Amino acid sequence: MATTQEPLANGNGSAVRPSRVVEEEEDEENIFVFIPNLIGYFRIVLAVASLYYMPLHPRTCSILYSVSCLLDALDGLAARRFEQSTKFGAVLDMVTDRCTTACLLVFLASAFPRWSIIFQGLISLDLASHYMHMYATLSMGGSETSHKKIDESRSWVLKMYYSNNAVLFTFCALNEMFFIALYLLSFSSPYLSPTLLGDPEAPSSLQLGTPASPKPSMLFVSPWSAGAMEMARANKMSSTVPWILAVISFPIMFGKQWINVVQLVKASKWLAEGDRAARRKQGLPRSKYRHAKKQ
């Protein structure tokens, strides 16, 4: 039976707690309020706010989304500066990145339905590669192994990607820049959204196979409503800067997707190595070992 340790009494009869218990209480840290994790929570708030403004306020949405992404570098700096690197923080950071990018790609899939399968594929690749990599690292490398510590013999590409903070930041930042640029072009480029030409006969995205946004008249009963006027204001944006950003960031975005493929393949092979070792240890398949004994 478990017993509860009673506090000791001093000469005056006052209760005195054992020093060991006091030290344990003093050493207990609240991981959830570490500075890097507080930055992570703020990133989530900014990301949710950007999603709220995403349908009709491209400028506000882009600013909030970009700041949320840029803070991804700040929480890492804070973790190293204040010696507050934690597993919870690493998972929080990765989950926030995956979810925010997926939400933006969902919007792009609805804005450009003709290319929705590409955006759906990018979401799946991003989630699958990072999940497989994280799971393989924990199950094969041990619970104390960071997903950013890559053995060069396993993959020099992933080693360079995760070990160099400048490379990691550049790829992640320009990857998000490309998708933000596409988001802005959905409001400003007639080449991508034919309804912006102002032709009443121009196809809308409700017709199959046309990469265009719905006309305001399809979303709002009154053309003078606040929503319709805000959408008309958003569609008056210049597409020059978004096109420049898209062209500059496209090669890096493409490289980031290639790294995701490499990460997925390497993690799958690493898990398969562990499965083969486990099966040999268990004597599987049994038919093979029985045949070897008979010989």
The C-alpha atoms of residue 179 and residue 170 are separated, in whole angstroms, by 14
Give me the count of residues in the chain: 295
The C-alpha atoms of residue 195 and residue 214 are separated, in whole angstroms, by 7
Residues identified as active-site: 97
Amino acid present at 209: G
Using an 8 Å Cβ cutoff, are 187 and 232 in contact?
no
Sole residue written with tokens 């959830």 = 32
Question: What backbone torsions phi and psi does residue 29 show, to the nearest 5 degrees?
Answer: -105, 150
Number of H helices, E strands in the chain: 11, 2
Three-state DSSP class for residue 16 = strand
238 secondary structure, DSSP code: -
Give CA 68 to chain center in angstroms.
11
* Residue in 44, 70, 46 with CA at minimum distance from that of residue 60: 46
The C-alpha atoms of residue 134 and residue 92 are separated, in whole angstroms, by 13
